[in-house]
Structure 1
Amino acid sequence: MAFQCQRDCYMQEFVTSVVACSPAELKQEINGKKEIIKGFNVKLQDTILFPEGGGQPDDHGLIGDVPVLRVTRNGAEAVHFVGSVLEVGREVQLKVDWERRFDHMQQHSGQHLITALADSMFGYKTTSWELGRQRSTIELDTPSLKPAQVEALEAAVNEKIRANIPVTVQLLSLDDPALEKVRSRGLPDDPAGPIRIIDIEGVDANMCCGTHVSNLSHLQVIKLLGTEKGKKNKTNLIFLVGFRVLKYVERSYSIERSLVSLLKTGPDDHVDAVDKIQKTVKALQKCNLNLLRDMAVLVAQNFKLNPERGNFFAFHKKEGDNEFMSIIANEIATEETLVFLTVGEEKGPGLFLLAGPSQKVVELGPRVLEMLEGKGAGKNGRFQGKVNSMARRGEVEALLLEHCRSEP
C-alpha cells in the first residue's frame, strides 16, 4: 500500500479519518538534552505525512490544529505521534509542513540523480546516503574522488536539470519481472504491497519509498561542495540541492560582507589578509610567552630575595599557564617552601599548582582540589589540576598559610 504522500508528493492538505489513538512516549532532544515526551500514537485511514524511511526524514505538519511531532512506519501503516488525544472515527484535515517536505523532495531526488551519474560516469556505486539538516552526503564506494571528477559530475547533473527531464512513479507487484531491472536502494526491509519505482526518464530507475519531484527542473540547481574521507575505502560526497543552494549563497555573501568590513579588503584578498593576521598573532603569542617566562623567573627571584620571606608563597596571574607556574615552582626551593600558584579568571575556571615538601602536598592537595571544585592529581611533591571556580582561592591561601605557621 502506498500512502497518499507517495501517490501525490505535491499534495499539501488532505482530509481523512482517525483509525486508532493510543497513549505513547517519544524520545526527543530538546536544547541538547534527551527528554521523554508523553503523547499519543495516531493511525489514520491515509496520510500525506511521510513516515521516515529510505534515508529520508519524516514530515512535520498538523492533524487539525494538533502538531505532528514524529511519523514512523509500522508495516503498511504510518504512525503519527501527537501531544493530544484524537477521537477515533473523527474526520480530520492534515496539513504538511510544505517547506520541509519540498526541501526533502529536492534533496532526495537530487541524491538519485547524483548517484545515477556517479555510477554511469565513473562506475562508483552509492553504498549509503544521509539527508542532513543543512547538507547531505552520499557515500561512494571509492577511496577518493578527484576534484576534476567532482567538477564534471556537478556539470552533468545540472545539465540534466536544465533538460527538463520528467520523474515518474511506478508501482510494481513483488513478483513483477521488471523488478530485476531496477536498483534496490531505498527498499524497506519489510516491504508490504506493491514496490514503488522512481523513474528519472532515461537516467535511472530505482526502488524507493521517499517523496520526489515530478521533474528534474524542480531541483533548480545542485552544488557539490566537495568530499570527505568516509569509512574504509569509501568517500563521502557533500551536496546541496535547490533552496539549500540559495540559502548557502545568501549565508556566504553575508559572511563575505562582514569580512570586507572587518578586514578592510575585497573578497579576493581575504585569504592573504587572514594569513597575515595569523602570522602576526603567532609572533605576538611567541613574544607574550617569552615575557611570561621572564616574569615567572622574576616573580620567583623577588620572593627568594625577600629577607622576610616565610615558608609559604602564593601567587595568581590571570594570563598564565602551566608552564608559567612550573617555572616559578622550579625557581623556588620547594623542598622547604610550600608554593600555591593559580592562573585563570579571578572567580572563574583556571589551573592550580601546589608544590612543596612531599608530605604536605600529599596531605593538602586533595583539600585544595575540593575547595576549588577541580580535578587533578599529584606526585613527587607536586599536585596540580583544573578548577571550575577560583572564588575560594583566598580561603585556600589562608588554609595553607595557617598550616605552614603551625609547623615547627
Structure 2
Amino acid sequence: MLKDRLYYQDAYVQNFTSQISKESQDLDGNWYVVLENTAFYPTGGGQPHDTGTINGIEVLNVEEVDGEIRHTLAERLNSTGDVQGIINWSRRFDHMQQHTGQHILTAAFVELFGFQTESFHLGKELCSIDLAAESVNSEQLEAAEKLANDIVLKNLPIQTKWVTEDELDQYSLRKELAVTDEIRLVIISDFDYNGCGGTHPSSTCQVSGIKILSTEKQKRKTRVHFVCGGRILQQLHSKNAILSEASRLLSAPEGGVNDAVEKLLAANRTLERTLKEAQDALLKYEAKELLTKKDNEIVKQVFIGRTMQEVQSLARMIVGLDDNVIVLLVLENEDRLQYVAAKGLNVNLSMKQISDIARSVINGKGGGKDDFVQGGGERTVAAQELLDKMVECVL
C-alpha cells in the first residue's frame, strides 16, 4: 500500500535498509533496482524525485512504473543481501520547503481573492504556480505573500492523513480530487486541506519564508514565480552580487543604481541618434558618389559584408536624387546573395521584371512594387554575374 512506503511513514528518514526485489535494465540500457521498501521519493505530483546512493552507488532517477518504484543507478548494483539507501537530504528538504510553500501560497490566493491554482512547477532554482486569473496586481501579490508568511510564522502543525472517498465530506478541501483510492490529505490546521502525495515538513515554520519574485501572462492565466526557505537566501546572495557589480561598474552607490542606469540609457539614446545622423550623412555622400558613376542611366554596384538595410537606403537615396535613373545593387554575405532594384519617377520599366530574373538565377525569394524590389537566395553564381544578369534585363 502507498501509506506503507518509508517516505510516507516519515518524511525525515535520511537512510534506511532494504532488500532488492528486482534488478533489471530499462529500454535505454540503464540499470535499475526495485526495493522491498524505499525512502526515495519518485517523481510525481509536481515534486521531483530524490537522489542519493544505494550501497554507495549514485541514484540518478526514481520513478514509479507499473506500480513499482524503479531506482535508476549509475552502475549495476550486484548485491543479493541487505542494501543501504542514503537520501540526499539537502535536496529532499528543499523540495519539502518548496512544495509546502506552494500549498500555503496557493491557499492564500484562494482565501483572499478566490484565485485557484491550476498547475505547479518545482524547478531547480524557481517555483511557479499558474493562477486562474487573467491579471493579478501588485497589491494582491503583496497581500497573498504577507498572509502566506503569517501562516509560516504561526508554526502551525502539518498533518497527513489517509482517508476513504466517503470520508472526504468531513474536510473543506481546496479543490476536488481526481483519485478515489488511497487518498492522502495534507492538512495545515484551520487553513488548508488538500489532497497531495508529496513530502512535507511537520510544521509551517520549517518552510522558513515565502517570496514572490515575478509574474507573467500565460494566455488567460497568470504565472507567479516564487521561492521558499533556503532558496530565498540564494536569491538574495545572487541579486546582491549583481547589484554590487552594477554599483561598481556605474561608480554609483547601490541606492543610486537606478538613477545611474537612467542617465546611462539617456546618454545612450543621444549617442544612437547622433550615430544614426552620421550614418545617414555618409550614405547620402555615398549615394551622390555612386550617381556620378552611372552608365546609360544605370547605377550598379556589388557590396560585400554590408547590411541589407544600408543597401536599401542607398537605393532609395539615389532614385530620390535622380528621377531618370535605375539602381541595381547586389549584396554578398557568406553563402547568400541579395539584391535591390529601384527606379526614378520618370522610368517606365517595372522593377518586378528584374526581380523575376534575379530570383530565378539564385533560387531565391523576393517582392516589392514596380518602383522598388528586393530579394535574396543562394550563391549559385558570383555576385558580379548576378548583377550582369540584372543589367541585361534592363538593356
User: Residue 51 of structure 2 aligns with which residue?
Assistant: 60
Q: 1:92 to 1:139 in 2, by over 3 A?
A: same
Q: 1:278 to 1:255 in 2, by over 3 A?
A: same
Within 5 Å, give how 1:21-170 maps onto structure 2.
21-25=23-27, 37-74=28-65, 76-87=67-78, 89-170=80-161
Q: 1:378 to 1:123 in 2, by over 3 A?
A: closer
Kept in 2, the 8 Å contact 1:300–1:328? The answer is: yes
User: Residue 29 of structure 1 aligns with which residue?
Assistant: none
Q: TM-score, normalised by structure 1?
A: 0.78
Q: TM-score, normalised by structure 2?
A: 0.80
Q: 1:351 to 1:402 in 2, by over 3 A?
A: closer
Kept in 2, the 8 Å contact 1:59–1:96? The answer is: yes
User: Residue 22 of structure 2 aligns with which residue?
Assistant: 20
Shift of 1:386: 8.5
Shift of 1:317: 5.7
User: Residue 339 of structure 1 aligns with which residue?
Assistant: 329
Kept in 2, the 8 Å contact 1:68–1:81? The answer is: yes
User: Residue 224 of structure 1 aligns with which residue?
Assistant: 212
RMSD: 3.6
User: Residue 366 of structure 2 aligns with which residue?
Assistant: 377
Shift of 1:139: 2.8
Shift of 1:116: 2.3
User: Residue 5 of structure 1 aligns with which residue?
Assistant: 7
* Larger displacement relative to structure 2 (90-99 or 247-256): 90-99
Within 5 Å, give how 1:277-288 maps onto structure 2.
277-288=264-275
Kept in 1, the 8 Å contact 2:7–2:199? The answer is: yes
Cα separation, 2, equivalents of 1:307 and 1:161: 79
Q: 1:317 to 1:177 in 2, by over 3 A?
A: closer
Read off the aligned partner of 2:236 and give its amino acid letter. V
Cα separation, 1, equivalents of 2:175 and 2:326: 74
Cα separation, 2, equivalents of 1:77 and 1:406: 75
Within 5 Å, give how 1:345-356 maps onto structure 2.
352-355=338-341
Shift of 1:244: 0.9
Q: 1:141 to 1:152 in 2, by over 3 A?
A: same
Cα separation, 2, equivalents of 1:121 and 1:361: 63
- CA-to-partner distance for each residue in 1:169-209, whole Å, 9 max, x for gaps? 2223x25525641527696x5565x3222222332232210
User: Residue 297 of structure 1 aligns with which residue?
Assistant: 284
Alignment of 1:183 onto 2:173: yes
Read off the aligned partner of 1:216 and give its amino acid letter. T
SS at match of 1:211: coil
Cα separation, 1, equivalents of 2:392 and 2:191: 87
Cα separation, 1, equivalents of 2:91 and 2:360: 54
Aligned residues: 377
Q: 1:116 to 1:8 in 2, by over 3 A?
A: same
User: Residue 348 of structure 2 aligns with which residue?
Assistant: none
Cα separation, 2, equivalents of 1:62 and 1:113: 31
SS at match of 2:262: helix
Shift of 1:154: 2.1
Q: 1:133 to 1:303 in 2, by over 3 A?
A: same
Shift of 1:376: 4.8
Cα separation, 2, equivalents of 1:88 and 1:191: 38
Read off the aligned partner of 2:147 and give its amino acid letter. A
Q: 1:397 to 1:115 in 2, by over 3 A?
A: closer
User: Residue 275 of structure 1 aligns with which residue?
Assistant: 262
Kept in 2, the 8 Å contact 1:312–1:404? The answer is: no
User: Residue 347 of structure 2 aligns with which residue?
Assistant: none
Q: 1:184 to 1:18 in 2, by over 3 A?
A: farther
Shift of 1:316: 4.0
SS at match of 1:19: strand
Shift of 1:253: 0.4
Shift of 1:256: 0.6
Q: 1:186 to 1:24 in 2, by over 3 A?
A: farther
Gaps of 5+ in 1: 26-36, 370-374
What percent identity do the matched residue pairs reach?
27
Cα separation, 2, equivalents of 1:19 and 1:184: 38
Cα separation, 1, equivalents of 2:204 and 2:101: 8
Shift of 1:168: 2.2
Q: 1:362 to 1:133 in 2, by over 3 A?
A: same
- CA-to-partner distance for each residue in 1:331-382, whole Å, 9 max, x for gaps? 168975642135xxx86x998434377666544446557xxxxx75345674
Cα separation, 2, equivalents of 1:43 and 1:281: 62
Cα separation, 2, equivalents of 1:80 and 1:132: 21
Kept in 1, the 8 Å contact 2:130–2:224? The answer is: yes
Read off the aligned partner of 1:135 and give its amino acid letter. L
Cα separation, 1, equivalents of 2:142 and 2:63: 37
User: Which residue of the other structure, out of 212, 215, 220, is the alignment partner of 2:203?
Assistant: 215
User: Which residue of the other structure, out of 305, 311, 317, is the alignment partner of 1:325?
Assistant: 311
SS at match of 1:129: strand
Kept in 2, the 8 Å contact 1:297–1:327? The answer is: no
SS at match of 2:226: strand
Read off the aligned partner of 1:245 and give its amino acid letter. I
Read off the aligned partner of 1:298 and give its amino acid letter. Y
Kept in 2, the 8 Å contact 1:21–1:88? The answer is: no
Kept in 1, the 8 Å contact 2:115–2:133? The answer is: yes
